[in-house]
């Protein structure tokens, strides 16, 4: 498998349709610029849908990739190593922030166990049936997964994207549930952006103290030494420093762009996977929105590199897809305004006749 092949498969949203949407916006009763960034969102959706006026978002879907990361054994997370199962269980039971928001916004939630470190019998078959492996290796001293497992995970993500597109999903809210995932994500971002570990090391969704931050920074530094030699191959990079869940998310993002299915990114994990995907297919980011600022420096670095400006900055650090889900009502509002605001009545002459170019010329001749 060569991820560079996606470069020929992904096209940008329709530029001609976007120009038509911009021209329609100029004719609306609300003055241009009065709706701020909502205008831009509506035009982007029109281009993605190839529709003027834009269609309402009718079938959004929350898709969450879950996995455990061996690097969590070093005490780099606010949660215990192998603890992602508890996060998944809480989401399934409706007791996590993302499940509360999904329920309130009437958005179906799909959780995909890619590499949880737990017995599969503990979770529903619909969640665990796609698992690639149990947990991932410690990226500071070994590869997270094998090259074969990385390819399998990417294909899994592609298959999930195809399933969603085929079922009529018209926009995806992307999330992750992991322990140690932000360490792997920061490593990927640092490697792809050519920065030091200290520049990308954050405190994670659960929050860590200064001592844990130093351990995390050291783990990313050591993982970077192993990541840099394989920068030329995105699949090898995901195998060495990412993990099965991050590889699956990367495949999902790439195939979603192939299928012209817009995606709202959440925090640092989805941003890191998006950066890997951009390295493979430079047009792919045109199909994504950055939902929110998570406060993770690696996320900021990745979004800057992809020229994606977050929609929200509410200080939400919980992860899981919660921040991206909070951005969904804003995107829906942009679609509704672009589609439903009336256009101005055409201007007419005083005598009720449409003024034409000859009318203005005759008036000038009589001056």
Which positions are catalytic? 320
Instruction: Specify whether the CB–CB gap between 137 and 81 falls below 8 A.
Output: no
Pull the structure tokens for residue 158: 């592609």
DSSP readout, 123-138? S-HHHHTT---SS---
Q: Are 327 and 264 in contact (CB under 8 A)?
A: yes
**Residue 141 and residue 134: Cα distance in Å, rounded?**
18
How far is residue 150's CA from residue 3's CA, in Å, rounded to a whole number? 11
User: How far is CA 122 from each of CA 40, 86, 149, rounded to the nearest angstrom?
Assistant: 45, 10, 23
Please, how many CA atoms are within 13 Å of residue 321, restricted to the half-sphere of its CB?
32
The span from the CA of 14 to the CA of 45, in Å, is 10
State the residue for tokens 């039971």. 93
Residues near 10 by beta carbon (within 8 Å), at least 6 away in sequence:
254, 257, 258, 281, 283, 284, 287
Closest CA to 242 of 156, 340, 137: 137
Residue 242 in tokens: 């990412």
Please answer whether residues 230 and 237 qualify as being in contact, where contact means their C-beta atoms are separated by less than 8 angstroms: yes
Instruction: Give the side-chain half-sphere CA count within 13 A for 180.
Output: 34
Using CA atoms, how far apart are residues 90 and 96, in angstroms rounded to an integer?
6
Burial string for 262-277 (b: 16+ CB within 10 Å, else e) reads bbbbbbbbbbbbbbbb
Which tokens belong to 235?
């699949």
Phi-psi region of 180 (alpha: psi -120 to 50; beta: other; left: phi over 0): left
């Amino acid at each position: 498998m060569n991820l560079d092949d996606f470069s020929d498969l992904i096209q940008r949203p329709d530029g001609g349709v976007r120009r038509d949407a911009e021209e329609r916006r100029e004719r609306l009763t609300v003055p241009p610029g009065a709706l701020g960034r909502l205008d831009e969102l509506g035009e982007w959706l029109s281009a993605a849908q190839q529709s003027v006026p834009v269609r309402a978002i009718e079938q959004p879907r929350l898709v969450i990739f879950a996995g455990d990361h061996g690097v969590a054994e070093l005490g780099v997370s606010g949660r215990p190593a192998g603890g992602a199962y508890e996060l998944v269980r809480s989401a399934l039971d409706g007791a996590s922030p993302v499940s509360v928001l999904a329920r309130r916004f009437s958005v179906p939630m799909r959780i995909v166990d890619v590499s949880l470190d737990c017995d599969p019998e503990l979770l529903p078959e619909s969640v665990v049936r796609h698992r690639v492996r149990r947990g991932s290796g410690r990226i500071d001293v070994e590869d997270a997964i094998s090259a074969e497992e990385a390819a399998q995970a990417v294909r899994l993500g592609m298959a999930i994207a195809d399933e969603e597109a085929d079922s009529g999903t018209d926009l995806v809210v992307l999330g992750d549930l992991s322990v140690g995932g932000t360490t792997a994500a920061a490593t990927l971002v640092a490697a792809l952006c050519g920065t030091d570990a200290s520049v990308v090391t954050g405190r994670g969704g659960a929050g860590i103290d200064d001592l844990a931050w130093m351990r995390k920074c050291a783990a990313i530094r050591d993982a970077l030494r192993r990541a840099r030699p394989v920068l030329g191959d995105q699949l090898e990079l995901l195998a060495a420093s990412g993990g099965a869940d991050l590889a699956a998310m990367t495949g999902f993002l790439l195939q979603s762009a192939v299928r012209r299915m817009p995606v709202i990114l959440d925090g640092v994990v989805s941003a890191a996977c998006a950066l890997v995907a951009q390295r493979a297919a430079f047009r792919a980011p045109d199909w994504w929105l950055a939902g929110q600022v998570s406060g993770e420096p690696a996320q900021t670095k990745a979004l800057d590199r992809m020229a994606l400006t977050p929609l929200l900055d509410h200080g939400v650090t919980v992860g899981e897809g919660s921040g991206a889900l909070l951005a969904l009502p804003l995107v829906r509002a942009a679609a509704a305004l672009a589609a439903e605001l009336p256009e101005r009545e055409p201007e007419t002459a005083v005598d009720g006749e449409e003024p034409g170019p000859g009318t203005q010329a005759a008036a000038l001749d009589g001056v």
